[in-house]
Structure 1
Amino acid sequence: MKKILSLLLVCTFILLACQEDYEHNPITSDDVIPSAIENLSYTSINGGFDISYDLPSDKDLLYVKAVYENSKGEMAEVRASIYDNKIQILGFGDTSEKEVTVYAVDRSENVSKGVSFTASPLMPPVHIIKGAMEITPDFGGAKFKWVNEQQTPIAILLFAENEQGELENVHTVYTSQSETSHSLRGFESVPQPFAAVIRDRYDNFSDTIYPGTPDKLLTPLFEERLDKAKFQKVVLANDDNWDAWEGDYWNAFDDDLGSIVHTQGDHPRPSIMTIDLGANVVLSRIKLFQRAPNQQHWAYTHGNPKSYTLYGAKELPGSDGNLDNWIKLRGCESIKPSGLPIGQNTDEDIAHFLAGDEYTFEESVEIRYFRLAVQETWDGAGFINFSELTFWGNVIN
């Protein structure tokens, strides 16, 4: 037995010792340079070029490459297999003329004579998006809204003033959505600067974007976070029971994202919750956190609310809870940025999940009583669950 083991060890050593670099070399090797590509044509696109060509007839052709100098002044290349006859170059940060050379390469890594062209790409996406961005006053801060028709992966760097009176990057939004917005909150209602810069994955940057005001300053709309200690529970005839399973009604207002509300699931839709806000208020926005943000496997699934309606009233219309007697404040639709099926989440999806579903109110309606009416959950569950509900607005003295 020992002899067999010794023999195996010796054989293994020999095999390892005999391994050479030929495993990474071409199966065939020659010095024959392949023919050049033919009939090259190109189209300028935003930040680059679409290039097409006819492949040479060399039987050992392996790939085609386009070589150019990128926006950083470095030589770069893009490759395409022999099963395609086109290459796309992206990432140019301006519209100055670029020289691109296209080569055919065979299995022996022989490179053909290059075919070159010089042309200008169209305006890069970061500059197009910059032209479509708006920075406007929002409740407690500023709202940044942009259009990204080509759905280019970008980073939006959002700036606000720090304690030293300097603009500072306080948040970055990573997105490829065609149209979206983001708000910075928590600022006093006094004139102050806000700004944005757009960056793409090639490290191209837009110029700094400011509000369209003469002094580049915005005054955030006044709001305050409602005091949850003043809330009172209200139960009307058509309200659901939010204390089922491990849930509790007051978990929705305890500022603990680890606790939840939970319905039994045997109540007809909509499932309704009613709350006395403890004072007359004009709401500016609310934020609803889906169940347990610290347990991301429940993101955009389970009994998390997907479609719901918000109602309000200054005085209780009646104990029957008939929604026809309440003021409809707005409809809400929980949005998953990527639009992917349940169970598939991007980094952008998780960032949105952790930030909470936020909804603002366009009309100033004075209310004291608030109702949440859930029509649909993310996975169609019969029960409803979520972690927290928070309100902002103006308290009417």
Structure 2
Amino acid sequence: MKKLWLVIGVLLSVFFLGCSEIKDWSDPADNIPPGEITDIRVKNTNGGAVIHYRLPSDNDLLGAKAVFTFSENEEPMEVYASAFKDSIVLEGYANTEEHIVQLYAIDKSNNLSQPVSVTIQPLTPPISLIRQTLTAQETFSGVRAIWKNTLKKPIAVSLYTFDASGDKVLFERHYSSAENGGYTFRNFEAVEQPFYFELSDRWDHVAAPLDTVLTPLFETQIKGMEGTRYVWDLYDYDNSIYRGDPIQANAGSQSVYRGRVRNLFDGNTWDNSAYFYFRPPTMNQYVPGASSSAYPSPNYVTFDLGVPAKYSRFKYYTRGRTPVYSAWSWYEFEVWGTNNPKKPNEIGDGSQADNLKYWTSWPEAGGTDAWKEDWEKLADCEIKFPSGTPGNAPQVESAEDIAFVMDGFGFDIDPDKTGKAFRYIRFVLKKNNTDNVPYIQWSELQFWGSYE
């Protein structure tokens, strides 16, 4: 027992002795400035410069610091680079004049070296390059701005209108860093009116405005029903199996007329009972001898919208299910249009096998998607949540995401195709947010544009 207490006493002594001698591992501070930066070389860039240099050999060196202003009346700004780099990047200049930059070495005690004055002369600012490419044109219900941003710099495109007093009023601001930029500003009457566009960058530099007068094109909703007459339907429904489209045998437990196609245009955008519904067939229902457990991918669905129309944009609303966005939401798909879809007897020998080769890309059917040579692609679509939530999320929970889903997923038609009229629309459904049966469950489908 005495030996035990002796061991405990020794351990406690060591513990308290160790606690009283905590080592300070931080770097020792001093007031000795580092040596100067040398061997300076400047590469001027659009709206800035890259300054290359050689750092001093001080053991406690932290890196380099550049101090600069965009103009004489502005507060100085600072940019840092670590000791592991041999260059520092400056951005945000709005002109191509010469500017003086003070370059320092800095150590871990925050001591600064003597400054070295460096002269830079930025090339044409990115915002000015983008402005040179900015154009605006009338489109359905609004105007479309188009620009090139080869450097992919973040910008804001602002559209101003004018009130009754002639004062500018911000209508909408769009943010982008896309190389081939474009955005449509909508909800304008089809009358001649002035539009005032401004481009700005993240330093609040504003390029010369684009001041123009345009007449937006008339836009109306393309209706699925006129009075009591149904206009929209599934295309050539009796031959759906030839195209790889959904078939009636797979309307699921809701074995109703053509998958409730009429629910797509009943005006109810958030419905958990009366919605467009199909459970896609398994591959063997299309291709004899194929798997009875594998589902085709992609899925296809083709509509006859009754009359030719020019399309500007569309929305689809997913099934109004809780949790929100949990009803097999298709987040990546294509939209195609034509006025002359081929009949089964116009394809190969007219057999189901030859038709599936033409109408699908399914390997099991030897599919070639040759139909795309006879149709025109109207849109490549991918759902992108403003919050950053991925399109394949199994559900959404934030108020922002829920509002985004319930407002419908809106997409523009390719501007090169808005001047053409189409009667038949085909969806190529590529990815949805589940890993099981690829159901099609839509509350509503809406198109806008104009009739022929």
Aligned-residue offset at 1:377: 2.6
Equivalent residues in 2 for 1:361-376, closer than 5 Å: 362=417, 369-376=423-430
State how far apart, in whole Å, the 2-side matches of 1:227 and 1:141 are. 20
Aligned-residue offset at 1:28: 1.5
2:311 maps to what in 1?
A: 284
State how far apart, in whole Å, the 2-side matches of 1:70 and 1:356 are. 41
Aligned CA-pair RMSD: 4.2
State how far apart, in whole Å, the 1-side matches of 2:409 and 2:330 are. 18
The alpha-carbon distance between structure 1 residues 119 and 186, as it changes in their structure 2 partners (threshold 3 A), is same
The alpha-carbon distance between structure 1 residues 245 and 86, as it changes in their structure 2 partners (threshold 3 A), is farther
Q: Tell whether 2:271 aligns with 1:271.
A: no
State how far apart, in whole Å, the 2-side matches of 1:35 and 1:297 are. 61
SS of 1:117's equivalent in the other structure is strand
State how far apart, in whole Å, the 1-side matches of 2:147 and 2:104 are. 39
Aligned-residue offset at 1:288: 3.0
2:6 maps to what in 1?
A: none
2:233 maps to what in 1?
A: 234
Q: Tell whether 2:279 aligns with 1:252.
A: no
State how far apart, in whole Å, the 2-side matches of 1:163 and 1:252 are. 41
Counterpart amino acid of 2:447? F
Q: Tell whether 2:223 aligns with 1:176.
A: no
Runs of 5+ consecutive residues of structure 2 not aligned to the other structure: 1-23, 283-295, 360-370
TM score, norm. by length of structure 1:
0.75
CA displacement, residues 213-245 of structure 1 (integer Å, 9 cap, x when unaligned): xxx311222332223442445241205269658
State how far apart, in whole Å, the 1-side matches of 2:213 and 2:125 are. 28
TM score, norm. by length of structure 2:
0.67
Q: Tell whether 2:48 aligns with 1:48.
A: yes
CA displacement, residues 339-386 of structure 1 (integer Å, 9 cap, x when unaligned): 9976599x9xx989966122146375556x533332523569633445
1:143 maps to what in 2?
A: 144
Equivalent residues in 2 for 1:69-148, closer than 5 Å: 69-70=69-70, 73-148=74-149
Counterpart amino acid of 1:253? F
The alpha-carbon distance between structure 1 residues 385 and 164, as it changes in their structure 2 partners (threshold 3 A), is farther
Aligned-residue offset at 1:134: 0.9
State how far apart, in whole Å, the 2-side matches of 1:183 and 1:355 are. 16
State how far apart, in whole Å, the 1-side matches of 2:137 and 2:321 are. 32
The alpha-carbon distance between structure 1 residues 33 and 165, as it changes in their structure 2 partners (threshold 3 A), is closer
Q: Tell whether 2:161 aligns with 1:160.
A: yes
Counterpart amino acid of 2:94? G
The alpha-carbon distance between structure 1 residues 87 and 363, as it changes in their structure 2 partners (threshold 3 A), is closer
Q: Is the 8 A contact 2:148 2:179 kept in 1?
A: yes
Counterpart amino acid of 1:252? L
1:377 maps to what in 2?
A: 431
The alpha-carbon distance between structure 1 residues 335 and 276, as it changes in their structure 2 partners (threshold 3 A), is closer
State how far apart, in whole Å, the 2-side matches of 1:297 and 1:90 are. 43
State how far apart, in whole Å, the 2-side matches of 1:198 and 1:329 are. 33
State how far apart, in whole Å, the 1-side matches of 2:313 and 2:381 are. 13
Aligned-residue offset at 1:164: 5.2
SS of 2:208's equivalent in the other structure is coil
The alpha-carbon distance between structure 1 residues 199 and 254, as it changes in their structure 2 partners (threshold 3 A), is farther
Q: Is the 8 A contact 1:148 1:176 kept in 2?
A: yes
Q: Which moved more, 1:187-196 or 1:43-52?
A: 187-196
Q: Percent identity?
A: 25
Aligned-residue offset at 1:94: 1.8
Q: Tell whether 2:91 aligns with 1:37.
A: no
State how far apart, in whole Å, the 2-side matches of 1:29 and 1:136 are. 63
CA displacement, residues 22-62 of structure 1 (integer Å, 9 cap, x when unaligned): x9xx7412121110111011111111110111110000111
Q: Is the 8 A contact 1:134 1:146 kept in 2?
A: yes
Aligned-residue offset at 1:89: 0.8
**In terms of Rg, which structure is larger?**
2
The alpha-carbon distance between structure 1 residues 162 and 376, as it changes in their structure 2 partners (threshold 3 A), is farther
Q: Is the 8 A contact 1:153 1:200 kept in 2?
A: yes
SS of 1:130's equivalent in the other structure is helix
> Match for 2:216 among 220, 227, 230?
220
SS of 1:389's equivalent in the other structure is strand
Equivalent residues in 2 for 1:177-216, closer than 5 Å: 177-210=178-211, 216=212
SS of 2:130's equivalent in the other structure is helix
Aligned-residue offset at 1:82: 0.7
Aligned positions, number:
359
1:9 maps to what in 2?
A: none
The alpha-carbon distance between structure 1 residues 383 and 194, as it changes in their structure 2 partners (threshold 3 A), is same
State how far apart, in whole Å, the 2-side matches of 1:203 and 1:295 are. 43
> Match for 1:333 among 377, 380, 383?
380
SS of 1:334's equivalent in the other structure is strand
State how far apart, in whole Å, the 1-side matches of 2:94 and 2:431 are. 43
Q: Is the 8 A contact 2:392 2:434 kept in 1?
A: no
State how far apart, in whole Å, the 1-side matches of 2:44 and 2:103 are. 16
State how far apart, in whole Å, the 2-side matches of 1:165 and 1:289 are. 38
2:289 maps to what in 1?
A: none
The alpha-carbon distance between structure 1 residues 28 and 298, as it changes in their structure 2 partners (threshold 3 A), is farther
State how far apart, in whole Å, the 2-side matches of 1:196 and 1:292 are. 38
Q: Is the 8 A contact 1:304 1:384 kept in 2?
A: no
2:13 maps to what in 1?
A: none
